[in-house]
């Protein structure tokens, strides 16, 4: 028996056990389904609020770091990548790649325009 089939069997068994346990817990709960549903929704809302709060805090921290990095700037082109300047260096590299792609697209468009111009000139000379 291969490792994949063993893993699939284990995962299937775990999910089946989880489902049976959840159904059993709901059926044997000492309160009504409506109360249980309300409790589950309240817990889910608490978890989502905590996640949103953590996300907002992380976004604010990253934005503050980014602004500080932009204000300070990288003084040495050969500066080593550190935790503080890594996002800035990555952003600069991405911007350079984007500029390169744009330049390549511009050159391709000019080539296509030149070819179309030549074809148009040929067509005009035939007339």
**59 lies in a domain?**
yes
**3 lies in a domain?**
no
**121 lies in a domain?**
yes
pTM of structure: 0.36
pLDDT in tens, 67-124: 887 777 655 455 555 556 677 778 888 888 888 888 888 888 888 888 888 888 888 8
**108 lies in a domain?**
yes
**Rounded to whole angstroms, how far apart are CA atoms 122 and 127?**
9
**60 lies in a domain?**
yes
Q: Please state the domain count of the chain.
A: 2
Longest dimension (CA), the chain: 93
**94 lies in a domain?**
yes
Write out the residue range of the structural domain in which residue 63 sits.
32-72
**Other C-beta atoms within 10 Å of 88: how many?**
19
pLDDT in tens, 21-64: 988 887 787 888 788 888 889 999 999 999 999 999 999 999 88
**4 lies in a domain?**
no
pLDDT value for 5: 87
**90 lies in a domain?**
yes
């Amino acid at each position: 028996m291969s490792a994949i089939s063993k893993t699939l069997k284990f995962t299937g068994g775990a999910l089946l056990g989880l489902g049976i346990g959840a159904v059993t817990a709901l059926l044997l709960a000492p309160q009504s389904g409506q109360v249980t549903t309300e409790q589950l929704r309240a817990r889910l809302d608490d978890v989502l609020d905590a996640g949103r709060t953590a996300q907002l805090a992380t976004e604010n921290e990253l934005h503050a770091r980014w602004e500080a990095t932009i204000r300070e700037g990288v003084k040495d082109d050969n500066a080593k990548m550190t935790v503080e300047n890594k996002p800035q260096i990555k952003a600069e590299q991405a911007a350079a790649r984007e500029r390169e792609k744009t330049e390549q697209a511009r050159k391709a468009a000019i080539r296509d325009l030149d070819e179309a111009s030549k074809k148009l000139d040929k067509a005009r000379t035939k007339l």
